[in-house]
Structures are given as structure tokens and as C-alpha cells.
Structure 1
Amino acid sequence: MHVHVADHPLISHKLTVLRDERTDSPTFRRLADELVTLLAYEATRDVRVDPVTVQTPVAEARGVRLSTPQPLVVPILRAGLGMLEGMQRLLPTAEVGFLGMVRNEETLEATTYAERLPDDLARRQCYVLDPMLATGGTLSAAIEFLVQRGADHITAVTLLAAPEGIARVEADLADIGVPVTLVTAGLDERLNDKGYIVPGLGDAGDRLYGVVG
């Protein structure tokens, strides 16, 4: 797995505000949206395109357009929804699929409880959205799910990642046979004994949408 930590002052600035426990949910949602749009520039560097010629008011010009089939953006519910609009801003023609995954807080393993995806993802580039790469179980399970459907190129976009999570994903996907890239705004120090990223920014879902009892 190729790991790219985005290094840009605007990304660092927005991430700092997201970390601040005083940042309220509306501000958190807005900044997360803006941050994902910046990350999307990095994440889509390898998006597939085909050559095309267009007519300008002056002359013909060679350019490119997104290849068919279109990319598929896959937010992992529920927190990944807070990243969707920022990604769609750069890929407005991409299709969107959904994966509902939940982490068992005792075993830290992820299970799928819902999905809305095409049955056949052959030749599809997929962009997986999940704010936090913590233990790595959820992202590994999501990528394996997409590869089983036929996806042949996967980029994961996260706000933060922990070293333990990256190591877990790399180990789980060592023999997957599909190129996988991680684009993240920050690589943090470690996980605590509850599987949360340190220093992190707390529970991304709760900070985006509030605590649901």
C-alpha cells in the first residue's frame, strides 16, 4: 500500500481546527468538507482519463476526460458521509455507493451491516471515504469487500491515520493483488488502549453529527 500524507499549510490549518475540542459540529462539518476537497486533489492524481479533442472558439484543443466506467466513491457509514460532498465537488460525475460497517468495541473487528453497491465493479476505480484509520479493521474489510466485487484500483481518503492501522491494513492486504493508496491529512502518534487515535480529534461521527444514544 502506498501512503501519502498530504503536506500543505491549508490542510494543516484546517486539521488543527478540527482537532480542537471547542470546535462545534457545524464548523466541524464545514471544515471537514473543505479538507476533503483538498485531499481529493491528491487522491485523484491517478484517476483514469481518455484523450479527447474539443473545439475552442479559436481552434481544436487536445485534452482528457474521465474514462468509462466512471469512478465510484464509497463513504463508510456513518462518518464517511461527512466527507462525501467534498469528494463529489471534484468528481461530480462519479457514482456513489455506500458501505455500512461497525466496529466491535471489544474485539475491534469490523462487520458489514448494510451495502448499496453495484454487483460488478470490474475495471472500476474506487475511492473509499472514512475519517479515521485507527485499528485498520474497518478499512481492510471495506477494501476486501470492493475487491471481491471486482474493483481493480482503490484509494482510501482519511482525515487521520495511526501507524498501527496502516500496519494492519498492509498486512491484511499483502496478497490482495490490487493497487491500494492511502491519502491522509495527518499521521498521528499511536492508538490508546481503547483503539482511539492519539492525539486524534475524538469520535469523528459524533463530532460531525452529534452523539446518538
Structure 2
Amino acid sequence: MTCFVITGTDTGIGKTVFSAALAGAMRTPYWKPIQSGLEDETDSEAIARLAGVAVLPEAYRLVTPASPHLAAEIDGVTIDAEALTPPEGALIVEGAGGALVPVTRSLLYADLFARWQIPVIVCARTSLGTINHSLLTIEALKSRGVPIHGLVFLGDAMDDSEAIIADIGGIRRLGRLPFLDPLTPETLAQAFTANFDRGDFA
């Protein structure tokens, strides 16, 4: 049964695109617990467009485009951590921003991941600064006892950075998803097939 949490080393690095690629390849439903910002295409809408899989409703849809803790406060919403329990069964769960983004003023996404004990896939960009950001993310997850399934890189190939993060972090490199232009369901599916082994996610 395919069940993973997708987190990132930063915001805007492409983890939603990878989530779409994985969900589409494995034909697995998708769930975004909290969506902050509704003006542009939401992550759930992007998944539906790119992957064509079942998309479960978010537990919280916040209007303000900010960290969930602040967006909820501005919107006048109280986030109940118990409402953030993933549904049972095969599922791709995507967090927001990085692993240490606050869900509330006393709860981080990494704390949720530790509670869930679902294997986490860390998405990291390949550009300058990724070694530090990636190793900090891995360390934060490991310190909480979060099971890490592996690393996925997003962007142009940077073999030395990718290798040293995997080596020092002590987790396996699952593959790299290049930038895609155009980004369509077809090009995304082809890129996943060319750059990843589906058996690594079975």
C-alpha cells in the first residue's frame, strides 16, 4: 500500500509537482491537510489537474497566504490537531513549506509527522544552499523519530550536492525530477518514469 508524507526543505521548491508525479504514477489518492491561500490554484487543484487521482478535501482551507498558524489567526480559525489525522488507506499527504513550519503556535509539521509515523519523503532543491537546508531538515525529522523513506531532488542535476546530502544524512536518494517546460500530465508522467523506479515506492 502506497502511503507517504511529502515534505520539503523550503517553500516553493516543487514538492507539489513531485506529489502529483508520485500520486499519478502509483494511482494513489492525495490529501493536503491545510491549504493557506486560495487566490491562485491550490495544491489540491494542481494535483487534480496534473495527476488525475482522487483528491480528498483539506481539513482547513485558509484564505490568507501565510504559514498555517498565522493564516488561521488572521482568518479567525482555530486549528484542531485531531482534525489533522490522515484518512486510512493508500495516500499521498503533502505538508506546507518545510518540515518545521508551524501548524499552530505550539505544533510543527514535524511533530505531526512524528505522531503519524508515516514514511516521509524529503524534497530538496538542487540549487545553492541545499546541503545545509536538507541536512537540517533530515536532522529535525530524525530527532523526532520520524521515519524517512528517502530523498527526492528537484531541479538541474548537481551530483556532488545530491550525493553528499544522502551520505551525511544517512538516507537514500530516490531520484531527481528536472524542471519541466511545459508542465503537463504527460510530461510529468514521462519524467517520473525516466527518473524514478516505481518499485522504490511500492
TM band (smaller chain): 0.3 to 0.5
* Structure with greater proportional helix content: 2
Structure of larger gyration radius: 1
